């Protein structure tokens, strides 16, 4: 059985967010009751995940807004126990909240591995500069990614559309193959010496949501929004009744089989996708 190597993996720590962005790619404002997962469940998910996965180039904590978790430092400490299995541990924030001292301390313990991406949405991200300076003074690598009206990163966001069926199976398959979210590798993972072309299975992108490995955040959001349990579109990583080898088999099978159900309900993120102004707020 091949080992699993991942280029980029996001990990949801909460769906709670202090912004209500109309075009949120994970549908957070549209969720019925924002999920705020128990810390123990998140820690169990992390430990189980790294049992299954050989190596991840970039492991990214996301949400929602991660800094809304006052216990985030405990999860960070759990993740950093597996620092030999990833290159970069990233936390993505919207620049509206200052993390507590415990979180800053936890991030700075392994400053060579940790990285904070601060997305600045104009005046909404009123803490972006203050957070940047605090992280820098703590020795933590960080970057402000600008999402202003006129200078938005990558030209702005992509409107993935409402959760309504848009494509037949043939067009959904075509969209899946073209979608940048799951197919566009950011760097060559093989260059770091951790990827063996003969013995490893490479996944470009995946999302961990509530103990489940999904193709992407939109896929998880679609199943959640439509209240559909399409277990062919995810693997229950935290299922202790299934052994590690079987879980690896299930993940590889998922990525080598059918087009995800959710692709029929998505516009996709393509090279030529029309862009919209980021972080437009809903009433």
**Per residue in 80-134, pLDDT tens?**
999 999 999 999 999 999 999 999 999 999 999 999 999 999 999 999 999 999 9
Domains of the chain: 3-276 (3.20.20)
Residue 85 and residue 83: Cα distance in Å, rounded?
5
**Per residue in 18-37, pLDDT tens?**
999 999 998 888 877 778 99
Q: Is the pLDDT of residue 190 over 60?
A: no
Residue 265 and residue 228: Cα distance in Å, rounded?
13
For residues 139-168, give the mean pLDDT. 92
Phi and psi at residue 118, to the nearest 5°: -100, 110
Residue 247 and residue 239: Cα distance in Å, rounded?
9
Question: Residue 185 — very low, low, confident or very high, per pLDDT cuts 50/70/90?
Answer: low
Among 13-17, 146-150, 193-197, 271-275, the minimum mean pLDDT is found in 193-197
For residues 212-216, give the mean pLDDT. 97
Question: How would DSSP label each residue in 34-95?
Answer: -----HHHHHHHHHHHHHH-SEEEEEEEESS-GGG-TTHHHHHHHHHTTGGGEEEEEEEE-S
Tokens of 43: 């820690």
Question: Residue 193 — very low, low, confident or very high, per pLDDT cuts 50/70/90?
Answer: low
Predicted model pTM: 0.94
pLDDT of residue 188: 53
Residue found under tokens 């209240």 = 227
């Amino acid at each position: 059985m091949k080992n699993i190597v991942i280029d980029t993996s996001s990990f949801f720590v909460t769906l709670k967010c202090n912004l209500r962005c109309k075009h949120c790619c994970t549908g957070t404002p549209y969720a019925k009751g924002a999920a705020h997962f128990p810390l123990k469940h998140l820690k169990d998910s992390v430990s189980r995940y790294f049992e299954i996965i050989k190596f991840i180039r970039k492991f990214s904590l996301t949400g929602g807004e991660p800094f809304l978790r006052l216990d985030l430092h405990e999860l960070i400490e759990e993740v950093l126990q597996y620092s030999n299995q990833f290159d970069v541990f990233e936390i993505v924030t919207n620049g509206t909240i200052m993390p507590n001292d415990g979180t800053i301390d936890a991030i700075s313990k392994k400053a060579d591995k940790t990285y904070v991406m601060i997305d600045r949405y104009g005046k909404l991200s009123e803490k972006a500069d203050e957070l940047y300076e605090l992280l820098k003074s703590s020795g933590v690598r960080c970057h402000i990614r600008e999402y202003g009206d006129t200078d938005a990163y990558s030209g702005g966001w992509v409107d993935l559309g409402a959760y309504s069926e848009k494509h037949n199976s043939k067009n959904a398959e075509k969209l899946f193959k073209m979608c940048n979210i799951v197919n566009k590798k950011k760097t060559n993972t093989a260059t770091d010496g951790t990827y063996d072309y003969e013995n490893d299975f490479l996944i470009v992108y995946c999302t961990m949501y509530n103990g489940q490995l999904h193709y992407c955040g939109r896929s998880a959001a679609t199943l959640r929004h439509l209240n559909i349990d399409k277990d062919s579109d995810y693997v229950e990583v935290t299922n202790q009744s299934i052994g590690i080898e079987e879980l690896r088999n299930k993940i590889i099978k998922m990525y080598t089989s059918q087009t995800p159900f959710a692709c029929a309900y998505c516009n996709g993120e393509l090279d030529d996708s029309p862009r919209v102004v980021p972080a437009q707020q809903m009433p």
